[in-house]
């Protein structure tokens, strides 16, 4: 089963805006998205950095939050997005 990760920042408004959509997605699809706050937790930051070669080509060349990563397919989407786009990423 693929592992779905969300990297987010506590003071990132885009991340805050995505949280209710992530909650809804989990509820509607029964999937689970592991949330990792990266600015106040060095372990989470290191985890995100460990995916740098996978994430940066898909996210404007940088480590950006929010970032959603499927660790099986390495498919990543970044930034604030509509619910349908998030669902498409999660159910691909």
Query: Residues in the site for another protein, rule: CB under 8 A?
Result: 7, 9-16, 38-40, 45, 48-49, 52, 60, 62-65, 79
At closest approach, how far in Å is the CB of 78 from another protein? Answer: 9
CA 68 to chain centre: 2
Strand partners, 90: none
**Closer Cβ to another protein, 2 or 9, answer by number:** 9
CB-based contact 85:77 (threshold 8 Å): yes
The residue among 52 and 91 lying less far from another protein, judged by its C-beta, is 52
Helix axes 13-29, 83-91, angle to 10 degrees: 60
Minimum distance of another protein from residue 57's CB (angstroms): 14
């Amino acid at each position: 089963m693929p592992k779905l990760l969300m990297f987010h920042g506590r003071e990132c408004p885009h991340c805050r805006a995505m949280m209710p959509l992530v909650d809804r997605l989990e509820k509607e699809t029964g999937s689970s998205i592991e949330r990792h706050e990266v600015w106040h937790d060095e372990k989470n930051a290191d985890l995100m950095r460990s995916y740098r070669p996978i994430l940066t080509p898909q996210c404007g060349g940088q480590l950006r939050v929010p970032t959603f990563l499927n660790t099986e397919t390495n498919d990543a989407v970044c930034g604030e997005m509509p619910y349908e786009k998030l669902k498409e990423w999660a159910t691909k």
